[in-house]
Amino acid sequence: MSAAKKTVSVRILDKDYQVACSAEEEAMLTLSARHLDSTMRNIRSSGKVIGSDRIAVMAALNVTNELLHGGGAGRATVDPEQQERIDKLGQSIDSVLHRCRQLEL
């Protein structure tokens, strides 16, 4: 039986996003959003990357690198469940970036 989905508002780099998740995932989603926001703010404040799309991509690369190197001894270990979550997050990021581009036009 699947858990009921709810909409959670997260704020990343001064923009609000509505994300559907189960009640069990809400705390982890909030924590993930805070981590992503912090990573994106650090990238933006460095002044080396300009544009929210580029900042988002760099942040995604940094967070993925952290995840992959967190497996110990510098080796990438991702189990199938983690890979599925990573893929879904990537799709969500792509979707949000696409919507932001449409709004900017």
Q: Look at residue 54 and tell me if it is in a domain.
A: yes
Question: How many domains is the chain built from?
Answer: 1
Q: Look at residue 97 and tell me if it is in a domain.
A: yes
Q: Look at residue 30 and tell me if it is in a domain.
A: yes
Q: What pLDDT digit, counting tens, does each position of 29-43 carry?
A: 999 999 999 999 999
Supply angle C-alpha 45, 50, 56, rounded to 5.
Answer: 85
Q: Look at residue 63 and tell me if it is in a domain.
A: yes
Q: What is the mean pLDDT of residues 30-59?
A: 90
Supply the range of the domain harboring residue 33: 25-104
Q: How many other CB atoms are found less than 10 A from the CB of residue 36?
A: 20
Q: What is the pLDDT of residue 16?
A: 94
In this model, does residue 82 exceed pLDDT 80? no
Question: What's phi and psi for 15, nearest 5 deg?
Answer: -125, 140
Q: Look at residue 2 and tell me if it is in a domain.
A: no
Q: Which of 32-36, 64-68, 69-73, 91-95 has the highest mean pLDDT?
A: 32-36
Per-residue CA distances from 85 to 8, 30, 88 (Å): 18, 15, 5
Q: Look at residue 69 and tell me if it is in a domain.
A: yes
Q: Look at residue 12 and tell me if it is in a domain.
A: no
